[in-house]
Amino acid sequence: MSIYLDHAATTRPRPEVVAAMDAVLDDAWANPSSTHAFGRRARAALDDARESVARDLRVDAREVVFTSGGTEAINLAIKGAAWAGKARGHQLISTAVEHEAVLNALAHLEKFGFEVILLPVDRYARVDPDALSAALTERTVLVSLQYVNNEVGTVQPLAELVRRARMQRHVLVHVDAVQAAPWMDLDVPALDVDLVSIAAHKLEGPKGVGALYIRRGTALLAQQHGGSQERHRRAGTENVAGAAGLARALHLARQERPDVPERARGLRDRLRDAVLAVPGVELTGHPRDRAPGHLSVVVRDADGQSLVTALDLEGIACSSGSACAAGSTEPSHVLTAMGYPPEEARGALRLTLGRSTTTEEIQIACRVVPEVIARVREGSRALVADTPAAPAARVPVSVPDSVPDARGGYEPRDPE
């Protein structure tokens, strides 16, 4: 028995997606830029995919650029907007709980003289709109906001944040909607933003393909140079099969709402109740405003990575919220920004459900996860029996009312 509860990391491409990609690889495999009949078939497949994605985002097909994934879409949005807006200002605003793609793109720009402000978050990983208002200046070029957090599932109060950002004219707003796209409708005109990043593999599409919505008229400097593909915004022969897979995955996800999210929420709540019934286990992220399939907790007196390994042996695939760098476990920048001290953050455990998660799987997980937590705690207690650990001090959490320039505990992992 193997149970996959790591859908926030990636998802298995669904059969309809594989079939759509297979058809393209079989029949529309040529270069879409070729003018012969083969090329025209590939062009038609690419156009179809673009129109489908555009319809599902309720935007124009010319506003959709295919990329090699969420990371590239985010890099194009942030670096492209920053460089194009450099004459107007050099300030970039984002949040302390972003994905590494956002944080490291910003850290890169800092080396070229851009000023980066990372807004703090509350206990639930939510950004205070007042903090955004206070940070905005005439020199702000871009505000980059995450819609749904990948580690703790929190949904940001996006409408209010965007409304605040819009009070400063000329500011571009980018939304990392990679974790939102599987669960929520992305009605882009209603969001009133300029740039939106999505990735296929988080919504049962293939890895290595994503899309960036670029509102018509938005000045953006290309970040990859070469041919004139994607209306000069992203050079390179297009991944036609990937685009077709993304289009199919996005469309099916949208068609299946609200049923799939509602079902996932019901199963997630059952698992949540079973896991939170274990003493010393605390939910991380917002209790209600969170992705329907997302459960994240911190387990006191246990190491997240040990829990993941022990659960893997029991056939349950999940992850620890914290990133592990070469053997040494660093506390997650997200939990750190939320105010969790390192000794609590190291007990992070993330169980994320998907469309294909079954009731039987959750029944098993409801029994096995608490058992494994108890067993791992026993083990770590045995190990530290003669070296009593210092009591974990709780760091008081407050939402600063002034504009912070704190980096939220985040250090770029791979400095260039």
Ligand X SMILES: *Cc1c(COP(=O)(O)O)cnc(C)c1O
Q: Which stretch binds ligand X (CB under 6 A): 67-75, 278-286, 308-316, 336-344?
A: 67-75
Q: Which of 90, 77, 137, 134 is nearest to 116 (CA)?
A: 90
Residue nearest to ligand X (CB): 70
Other beta carbons less than 10 A from residue 87's beta carbon: 9
Strand segments, DSSP code E, in 56-157 are 64-67, 91-95, 115-119, 140-146
Cβ distance to ligand X smaller for residue 69 or 245: 69
Residues 6+ apart with CB under 8 A from 344: 298, 300, 335, 392, 394
Cβ distance to ligand X smaller for residue 199 or 302: 199
Structure tokens at 203: 């919504």
Among 99, 126, 174, 355, binds ligand X (CB under 6 A): 99
Name the active-site residue from 18, 221, 276, 324. 324
Cβ distance to ligand X smaller for residue 71 or 94: 71
Residues in the chain: 416
Given the structure tokens 């476990």, which residue do they identify?
Answer: 329
Among 91, 104, 179, 284, binds ligand X (CB under 6 A): 179
101 binds ligand X (CB under 6 A): yes
Cβ distance to ligand X smaller for residue 239 or 306: 239
Instruction: Kindly write out the interface string for residues 122-151 of this chain, putting x where it contacts ligand X by CB under 6 A and - elsewhere.
Output: ------------------------x---x-
Residue 194 CB, nearest distance to ligand X (Å)? 17
Residues 6+ apart with CB under 8 A from 5: 316, 317, 318, 351, 352, 353, 357, 361, 365
Among 7, 41, 43, 69, binds ligand X (CB under 6 A): 69
199 binds ligand X (CB under 6 A): yes
Cβ distance to ligand X smaller for residue 118 or 199: 199
In sequence order, the β-bridge partners of residue 174 are: 144, 195
Let me know if 324 is a catalytic residue. yes
Q: Which of 342, 414, 354, 410 is nearest to 99 (CA)?
A: 410
Among 178, 191, 310, 349, binds ligand X (CB under 6 A): 178
Q: Which stretch binds ligand X (CB under 6 A): 55-63, 199-207, 296-304, 369-377?
A: 199-207
354 binds ligand X (CB under 6 A): no
Q: Which of 339, 408, 352 is nearest to 98 (CA)?
A: 408
Contact 128, 399 (CB under 8 A): yes
Annotated active-site positions, please?
324
Binding site for ligand X (CB under 6 A): 69-71, 74, 99, 101, 146, 150, 176, 178-179, 199, 201-202, 210
